[in-house]
Amino acid sequence: MILRTLTALLLSASLIACGAAQADLMVEKKSFTTKDFTTVSGETIADVTVGWEAYGELNEAKDNVILITHFFSGNSHAAGKYTANDPQPGYWDAIIGPGKAIDTDKYYVISSDTLVNAFPHLPHVITTGPASTNPATGKPYGLDFPVVTIRDFVNVQHALLQSLGIEKLHAVVGASMGSLQAIEWASAYPDMVERMVSVIGTGAMDAWTITALEHWARPIKLDPNWNQGNYYDGEAPLTGVTNTLVMITQQAMHPVAFNQTSPKQEVLPKSALESVMNGLPATDFWFGAAAKNAPLADANHLLYLVRANQLFVAGHDTDLATGLEKIKAKTLFLPAKNDLLLQPYLAKQTVEILKAQGKSPQYDEIDGTFGHLDGVYNIQSKANVLADFINE
Amino acid sequence: MILRTLTALLLSASLIACGAAQADLMVEKKSFTTKDFTTVSGETIADVTVGWEAYGELNEAKDNVILITHFFSGNSHAAGKYTANDPQPGYWDAIIGPGKAIDTDKYYVISSDTLVNAFPHLPHVITTGPASTNPATGKPYGLDFPVVTIRDFVNVQHALLQSLGIEKLHAVVGASMGSLQAIEWASAYPDMVERMVSVIGTGAMDAWTITALEHWARPIKLDPNWNQGNYYDGEAPLTGVTNTLVMITQQAMHPVAFNQTSPKQEVLPKSALESVMNGLPATDFWFGAAAKNAPLADANHLLYLVRANQLFVAGHDTDLATGLEKIKAKTLFLPAKNDLLLQPYLAKQTVEILKAQGKSPQYDEIDGTFGHLDGVYNIQSKANVLADFINE
């Protein structure tokens, strides 16, 4: 069961919802295209297309909108099911739906994909990135795709909202990389954002996290099949991608849940004692699971996602404080107590800066044994905090 | 200064000693060879040679011996200097020397190298492993070298002590991988070991740590120059080794010290925004430092060290409890509070098993901002605890 949910997290298609049993919300993936999109790096992308979903109804004033932004391995499937037969609903189904913390009876909840999604080959993921066809050449962009930033993700979402005539966000809520987008939204478009919820997030990357992210990129670059990003006519660098996916999974977890999920190792397993080429039960298990998911990912997309995260500092201004200074939204920070990837000190630092600026950020920690993933698996433990913040 | 000490840690040749200024202990590296060494895996190594050092004087009864066992990136240079001009003394000079916690006025302190040392090309390191010449072929062993375990490291040290006529250890003390050896000593030779000190250690590897270690091996195996371990006539897989060394360094640290040591990143650095091929200040810094050290390491040795650690469970018996049951020594466990590599829960689990067996292990946590490395850099903060335990 835990394994299934973890595998699912990597795929990000479906996570166990821990809320009370209710009739499933049925959703459909939609697609949005914007032309001649200019990136922060000053490049132009002829066609940007991303997927999005919506739950609930947009009111006439178009002022009941809550935007959900997704995490690194995720996509816009935050709640509900595509068909009644789907084994699992979207990743935050525990808190998004009729009568739930993010109440779709009241709010029109939009969940948007980002550029350079890690798993472009997963059904229902719609994204634009290095694996997309460059209209100028008729071939995949590869490394000709411009470097994109969290601000670019936000700007694509801004264009999507504009196309729907939405000029105000009642709230923007995101976990992990979704939290970076949420904070960026509040800084980049302060007059649009009334409430911002950062779950397992940070206002800026520090050297520790930048270097941790770099380790996710390096196995791909080391894989000879990567070939400087030109592998679309040949073998994809799946060994490198597999290593990357295991690192992401492990760093998103805490030892307690990781050990509970892993197979036990007998003392001195014979094959492992025979050769350093042979695996161990835990490594065979995690690398085997990741190898199955690797073909759904794109190696270049992973490199671009890593870079977007490495470059993040809210507001992209001279420093973090200046970026945070612009925020007008009410803010709520929900780091996970046992997070080993984006540890609570990061959210605390951001909160302290906001307080020093005379703002009143709310702060609470999610408990659990999943580590970073408690922001997904145990989000319902903060359902009341979240509901109070959103409805206040 | 911090950088220098960190670089030095990777080289393991020299660490800042924080004890009071004293005349330097002068030491020399010695060498020990044992013939036809049989490994736990049932193979025979014709010649095993390892380095060792000693501080203090062996008494007539040969019962004042304290053995120091070294950590993953380390070697037997635990204290003192080779020449008066050495910039820094051995890594635990703060606690080993005349009048220090491990008092060389009282004790004969022996520090031994292990098999498959990570840095065989470092001056003063004497080890036997895949990079050593196989007398049967006249060429380096490569992957023909047998898999070795922590017990093998201990058995080589046992042969060294036998050669010196030593039949009793007043204490065995080690940090990290050295702690694994210390616990293994107490379980494998319970009648020889009177006291055991485990610093930043564990009684057994768990799936979390086994998988974390696996990530240290994978970049080497991905590097095309590794060539299934046959690179001794060509280019060494230095890119893979560099990635491994950065991972080791980062995981041995805590974000506070890591961030203090890293260069600051301006907002949206131009080159990083131009291409995912370009580095960032922190990644250039850490990967650059590791690249300089990489030629001193051996890729295959790193793989063998990883495997030895992955296979560790004290006593190599049916399970950890059975292995710990054999221990007769008094034990002291000193994990580091902010350790993110071998977190305190590991030492606690071992302590709980020993208590359940009616033993009285001592437990204390080392504080600091270095994480795992507090077991090296801040060991002097537990000098009194250590001295009391050893002299009691």
- For residue B339, indicate whether it is catalytic: yes
> pLDDT tens-digit profile of A68-100?
999 999 999 999 999 999 999 999 999 999 999
DSSP letters along A154-211, please?
Answer: HHHHHHHHHHTT---BSEEEEETHHHHHHHHHHHHSTTTBSEEEEES--SB--HHHHH
Q: B214, A276: Cβ pair inside 8 Å?
A: no
Phi-psi region of B380 (alpha: psi -120 to 50; beta: other; left: phi over 0): alpha
Lowest pLDDT segment from A5-19, A191-205, B330-344: A5-19
Write the residue in A250, A267, A268 that is nearest to B212 by C-beta.
Answer: A250
Q: Coil, strand, or helix at residue A362?
A: strand
Separation between Cα atoms, residue B86 and residue B13, nearest integer Å: 10
Domain ranges for chain B, please list them. Answer: 2-205+316-391
Mean pLDDT of B317-336: 97
Confidence of residue B186 (pLDDT cuts 50, 70, 90): very high
ipTM of the complex as predicted = 0.93
Question: Which residues in chain B touch residue A273, judged by CB atoms under 8 angstroms apart?
Answer: 40-41, 147, 149, 311
DSSP letters along B67-102, please?
Answer: EEE--TT--S--SSBSSTT-SS--TTTTTEETTSSE
Confidence of residue B19 (pLDDT cuts 50, 70, 90): very low
> pLDDT tens-digit profile of B133-183?
999 999 999 999 999 999 999 999 999 999 999 999 999 999 999 999 999
pLDDT score of B24: 81
pLDDT score of B11: 44
CATH code for the domain defined by A2-205+313-391: 3.40.50.1820
Residue A8 has pLDDT above 60, yes or no: no
Q: A286, B340: Cβ pair inside 8 Å?
A: no
> pLDDT tens-digit profile of A339-350?
999 999 999 999
The CATH classification of domain B2-205+316-391, taken from the options 3.40.50.1820, 3.40.50.300, 3.40.640.10, 3.20.20.140: 3.40.50.1820
Mean pLDDT of A177-202: 98
Separation between Cα atoms, residue A188 and residue A186, nearest integer Å: 6
Q: Which helix (H) or strand (E) holds A103?
A: strand A102-103
Q: A219, B214: Cβ pair inside 8 Å?
A: no
> pLDDT tens-digit profile of B76-100?
999 999 999 999 999 999 999 999 9
pLDDT score of A20: 44
Separation between Cα atoms, residue A311 and residue B283, nearest integer Å: 12
CB pairs < 8 Å spanning A and B: 171
Separation between Cα atoms, residue A133 and residue B146, nearest integer Å: 50
* DSSP β-ladder status, A171-175 and A108-112: unpaired
Residue A208, chain B, CB below 8 Å: the answer is yes
Write the residue in A209, A222, A255 that is nearest to B345 by C-beta.
Answer: A255
> pLDDT tens-digit profile of A350-367?
999 999 999 999 999 999
């820094």: which residue's tokens?
B88
Mutate to test the interface with B, among A41, A205, A268, A318 (most CBs of B within 10 A): A268
Residue B115 has pLDDT above 60, yes or no: yes
Q: Which helix (H) or strand (E) holds B299?
A: helix B299-310
A14 in Cβ contact with A80 (< 8 Å): no
Number of C-beta neighbours around residue B355 at 10 A: 12
| A residues 255-314 lying closer than 8 A (beta carbon) to B | 255, 258-259, 262-265, 267-269, 272-277, 280-283, 286-287, 300, 303-304, 306-307, 310-311, 313
Average pLDDT along chain A:
94
Mean pLDDT of A21-43: 91
Mean pLDDT of B283-292: 98
pLDDT score of A18: 41
B261 in Cβ contact with B23 (< 8 Å): no
Cβ-based neighbours of A60, under 8 Å, separated by 6 or more: none
pLDDT score of A22: 58
pLDDT score of A9: 47
Question: Which residues in chain A touch residue B208, judged by CB atoms under 8 angstroms apart?
Answer: 250, 255, 258-259, 262
A231 in Cβ contact with A225 (< 8 Å): yes
Separation between Cα atoms, residue B170 and residue B193, nearest integer Å: 7
Question: Which residues in chain A touch residue B243, judged by CB atoms under 8 angstroms apart?
Answer: 215, 218-219, 222
Confidence of residue A373 (pLDDT cuts 50, 70, 90): very high
Confidence of residue B22 (pLDDT cuts 50, 70, 90): low
Mean pLDDT of A113-135: 97
Rounded (5°) CA angle A305-A311-A315: 115
Mean pLDDT of A148-174: 98
Mean pLDDT of B319-337: 98
Give me the residues paired with residue B45 across strands. B37
Quote the tokens at residue A32. 């949005």
